[in-house]
Chain A
Amino acid sequence: MRSLTMFIAFISVSLFVFSQAAPAQPVIPAEPFHDAMRGTTPIDEEAKPPLIAPTENKDVIRGRAYAQQPPTIPHKIDGYQLDKDANRCLACHARSRAADSGAVPVGISHYLTRDDLTLGSLSPRRYFCTQCHVPQADAKPLVGNTFTDVEDVRVAPGPSAPQSPGKK
C-alpha cells in the first residue's frame, strides 16, 4: 500500500517536471568541430601528432622581444645533462671556459643572491639554465599574440587621434 502511494507520487512528480522543463535539444554547430591543438579530430579519436619541429641550430644570437628577456638558446641542447651532478651548459658558458669555447659567458647578474650579495660562483638560484633560457624552433604559434615592445608602442603609431572612450 505504502509503496503504491510512493510510486504514484513519483510518477506525478516526474510528469510535472518533464512537462514544465522539456530537455533542451543540443545545438549542432554549423561548422565542424575545431580545436587549436586537435584540429578537426573528434574527441573520441586520437589525433596524429605533427612532426617534431627541428630546433634552430644556426648559432646566431637572436634579438630580444623586450628589455630583460632571457636570451634564447641559438643551438640544440638535446641530451644536455642539467642536474646536481653536471651542468652541460656551463661546460662552455662558464666564465672560466668562455675564452676557450667562444660562448657567451654567464651574465654577472647570475652571481647575485636574492639578497643582492655577490658570490664568487654562480648563484644556486641561477643554476638551472633552462628555467629561463630555451631553444627555439620555427613553429607556427598555436595562439595569436599582439605583443609589441614598449619602444615600438611608443614610436610606431605616432600622434594619432585618441581612441574614443567607451570602446575598450
Chain B
Amino acid sequence: MFRLIKRYWQTINRPSTYYSLGFLTLGGFIAGVVFWGAFNTALEMTSTEAFCTGCHEMHDNTFAELKTTIHYSNRSGVRAICSDCHVPHNWTDKIARKMQASKEVWAKVFGTVNTREKFQDKRLELAEHEWRRFKANNSLECRNCHSFESMDFTRQSPRAQNAHQRFLVTGEKTCIDCHKGIAHELPNMTQAMRDQQLRDARPK
C-alpha cells in the first residue's frame, strides 16, 4: 500500500521523468480547457433565474415582487432576470460579486431570512447594499440595457424629460438615485433617509 502511494507520488512529483514533455504540455492544455469550460459553465449556471429562485427566500419574496413590475411584465415582453441587475457583466466584477455571494450562501444555510418577517426586517439593509453598489458603479447594470445615448427624451413625458435633462445629462445623479424600488418593494424609506443623512454627515 505504502509503496503504491510512493510510486504515484514520484510520478506526480517529477512527471517529466515518466511522461514526455509533449504529452504533458498537450495534456495540460486540454485539461485547462476542460477545467475552464466547466468552471465558466458552473459560474453561468449560478446566474440563471432557475438557480436564483431555487430557494424559497428568493422565490417568495424578491421574485414574487418582481413579477408585478415592468421589468417582468410589459407590452413588448422584453424582461430582466435577476442576474441582469444583480450580477455585473464584466468578468472581474462578476468574480468579485460571486465571492461576496458566498455570504448569501452562509445566510441560506443559517436561515437568516427564511421567513417573510425576517426578510422584511432585513429588507432595508439588503436594499442599502444594492443601492450603494449601483451608486458606486454609476448604475452600470441599468445602463447595460438603458443606454443614455439611445434615450430619446422627446418621446418621454414632460416630467421625465425635465428630470433627465436636469440630473442625468449633468451627471449630478445616477439612475438609482431616483429609480429606487422599481423591481422590488421599498424598505422603510424614512429610516433609509436617516441612514443616508448619517452617512453624509460622517467625515470621509
Q: Does B150 belong to the interface (CB within 8 Å)?
A: no
Q: Does B185 belong to the interface (CB within 8 Å)?
A: yes
Q: Does A107 belong to the interface (CB within 8 Å)?
A: no
- Chain A 58-73 residues near chain B, CB threshold 8 A: 58-59
Please indicate the chain B residues that have their CB under 8 angstroms from the CB of A76 in the complex: 157
Across the interface, name the chain B residue whose C-beta is closest to A103. B159
Q: Does A113 belong to the interface (CB within 8 Å)?
A: no
Q: How large is the interface on A (under 10, 10 to 19, 20 to 34, 35 or more residues)?
A: 10 to 19
Whether A85 touches B157, Cβ cut-off 8 Å, given contacts A79-B70, A102-B162, is no
Interface string of B69-110 (1 = CB under 8 A from A): 110000000000000000000000000000000000000000
Please indicate the chain A residues that have their CB under 8 angstroms from the CB of B70 in the complex: 78-79
- Decide if A87 touches B189 in the complex (CB within 8 Å): yes
Interface string of B160-177 (1 = CB under 8 A from A): 001100000000000000
Question: Per DSSP, are chain B's interface residues mostly helix, strand or loop, or mixed?
Answer: loop
Question: Per DSSP, are chain A's interface residues mostly helix, strand or loop, or mixed?
Answer: loop
- Chain A 32-89 residues near chain B, CB threshold 8 A: 57-59, 75-76, 78-79, 81, 83-88
- Shortest distance from the beta carbon of A63 to any chain B beta carbon, whole Å: 19
Cα–Cα distance between A86 and B178 once the two chains are bound (Å): 14
Please indicate the chain B residues that have their CB under 8 angstroms from the CB of A91 in the complex: 178, 189
- Decide if B182 touches A79 in the complex (CB within 8 Å): yes
- Decide if A85 touches B188 in the complex (CB within 8 Å): yes
- Name A residues whose Cβ lies closer than 8 Å to a Cβ of B: 57-59, 75-76, 78-79, 81, 83-88, 91, 101-102
